[in-house]
Amino acid sequence: MASTLSATEWKLQASGGNHSQVAMPFLSAVALPEPMPAHVVSRATFSGCLNDAVRHSGKEDQEIADEIHISSGYMSRFMRGVAEQWAKRLVRFMRSTNSLAPLQWLADQMGCDLVQRDSRAAEVAALKQRLVELERAA
């Protein structure tokens, strides 16, 4: 009898053929993640920030688990803070939920403030740099 579950079900999807994400120009097309109010972050727990992100995302746990490439059982452990919450997985989670709450909590724990970059300013700077390069080449 064949097993219905495979061992690779909870592993990351293959990255072969993917382009480098160094520049990531597509980020400016995505709506900015929603920050959590500062007075709430200082009193929240990390698991609370994860739960708040899921609650405000409008997505089901299983849908987020599929997007960050983990099984539903591991998602439960992830949400309770028991599973390994690697940086890449946490970034995928924040992009999936469109929430900065977990990052705000981490910054607060380290005594730092979180400042979002203005994506338009970065795009303008990149275009100006490209214009200078083109003028030099001409």
Q: What domains are there in the chain, each with its CATH number?
A: 32-113 (1.10.260.40)
Q: How far apart are the first and last CA of the chain?
A: 69
pTM of the model: 0.50
Q: Residue 29 has what pLDDT?
A: 44
Which pLDDT tens digit goes with each residue over 51-97? Answer: 888 888 888 888 988 888 888 888 888 888 777 778 778 888 888 88
CB 94 within 8 A of CB 53: yes
In one letter, which amino acid is 12? L
Q: Which residue stretches of 42-118 are H helix?
A: 46-57, 61-67, 72-80, 87-97, 101-109
Tokens, residue 105: 């909590």
CB 114 within 8 A of CB 100: yes
Lowest pLDDT segment from 2-11, 17-26, 32-41, 109-118:
17-26
